[in-house]
Amino acid sequence: MHYVKKCPECASINLFWNKEKGEIVCKDCGLVIEEKMVDFDQEWREFDSEAAARKRRTGAPMTYTQFDQGLGTDVGKKSDLYALGSKGKNKFFRLRKWQQRISTAIERNLKLALAELKRVSSYLKLPASVEEEASRIYTLAVQKGLVRGRSMESVVAGTLYAACRRHDVPRTLDELSEASNIEKKEIGRTYRFITRELGITILPSNPADYIARFASALKLSPETQSKSVEIIERAQKVELTSGRGPTGIAAAGLYVAALINGEKRTQREVADVAGVTEVTIRNRYKELLDELGLEKEIKKSKKKIAS
DNA sequence: AAGACGAAAGTGGTTGA
DNA sequence: TCAACAACTTTCGTCTT
């Protein structure tokens, strides 16, 4: 058994093996080598180019972001016509017409949808791996006929949302909504529908995954960032987080951490970037103080500022 | 005057009969 | 299919800095 040692895309050796998900992720280019351990080395040896051509089975890399996964075939080329008799010519045109008909229905939809998908994903600056995953999910959804009766855009938004969650780079529904001009409600609905129908497992997103993004939007120091991650981890141990909205927890954790490190932000500011209300932050904040006894730390930092 | 706090009523989604 | 329910929001009045 061989193991993957290098990223087949960029040849980096900086690979991360996520055992639970059965995924290998390239930390440099974000490529996800999914589910199976695949050996990308050749198992044969080439002695001369002729033998190589016979043994080589692969073509251009396959990708879901191309509407036909980069594998499309056309029936015949015009130049082939010279080799055909008149009967052959009829058959040739008939086949071409057929192919075009089959193509148009599904493929036109896919082409449009993937263009939209790319637009939204680049607007949100999502990594290529997420875009790829979303394209894959969308393609599956089309094949299962799940798009019927729903707008293409909303399904695109739903699949992107799902792909983000699966890759631990969560975006809020609000962000997706802003980027795609689809209502939050609608995205959530199609998201739930698609994941249920396709049997995609959805693990609740981890509040800590939001921290980096929120913190940089608030221009908070790295120390505050890691402090808030620590607080959130402690909160998770005491079961404070289950059933709560992850963005609310992330926001409160960040708010407290900023307070402790003397980089105070108002509840309003934190609430805005996290997409929750001040009230939610206050509730989580209060729970954090009660359960983790953080009052001392806050008082300590106040004294420091005073002196 | 701005920010923090908390009560009360409303919203959308889940769950269990 | 409906009602109970938890989490979150909106709104608004009061207290604190």
pLDDT at A37: 40
pLDDT at A298: 83
- A286 CA, B2 C1': Å apart: 21
**A207-237 exposure pattern, b = at least 16 Cβ within 10 A, e = fewer:** bbbbbebbbeebebeeebbebbbebbeebee
The nt closest to A192 (CA vs C1′) is B13
Classified as helix, coil or strand, A23 is strand
pLDDT at A146: 85
* Protein residues with beta carbon less than 7 Å from any atom of strand B: A 185, 188-189, 192, 264, 266-268, 278-279, 282, 285-286
Please give the Cα distance from A157 to A163 (Å, whole number). 10
CATH of span A1-41: 2.20.25.10
- Please tell me which residue, A66 or A131, carries the higher pLDDT value: A131
H or E stretch covering A82: none
Residues of chain A with CATH 2.20.25.10: 1-41
Nucleotides of C under 7 A from a protein CB: 6-11
CATH code matching the domain that covers A207-306, chosen among 1.20.210.10, 1.10.540.10, 3.30.465.10, 1.10.472.10 = 1.10.472.10
A248-278 pLDDT tens trace:
999 999 999 999 998 999 999 999 999 999 9
pLDDT at A249: 92
Residue A211 pLDDT exceeds 60: yes
- A281 CA, C6 C1': Å apart: 17
Beta-carbon contacts of residue A274 (< 8 Å; ≥ 6 apart): A172, A210, A214, A247, A248, A250, A251, A254, A281
Please give the Cα distance from A179 to A116 (Å, whole number). 11
Q: Using the CB atom, is residue A244 less than 7 Å from strand C?
A: yes
Closest by CA to A277, choosing from A268, A265, A289, is A268
Residue A165 pLDDT exceeds 80: yes
Residue A45 pLDDT exceeds 50: no
Residues of chain A with CATH 1.10.472.10: 106-198, 207-306
- A140 CA, C8 C1': Å apart: 33
A11-38 pLDDT tens trace:
555 556 554 444 555 555 555 554 334 4
CATH T-level assignment (fold) for domain A106-198: Cyclin A; domain 1 (1.10.472)
Q: Using the CB atom, is residue A205 less than 7 Å from strand C?
A: no
Residues 67-106 of chain A within 7 A of strand C, judged by CB, are none
| pLDDT > 70: percent of chain A | 65
Whole-number mean pLDDT of chain A?
A: 76
Classified as helix, coil or strand, A14 is coil
Q: Using the CB atom, is residue A250 less than 7 Å from strand C?
A: no
Binned at pLDDT 50, 70 and 90, residue A227 comes out as very high
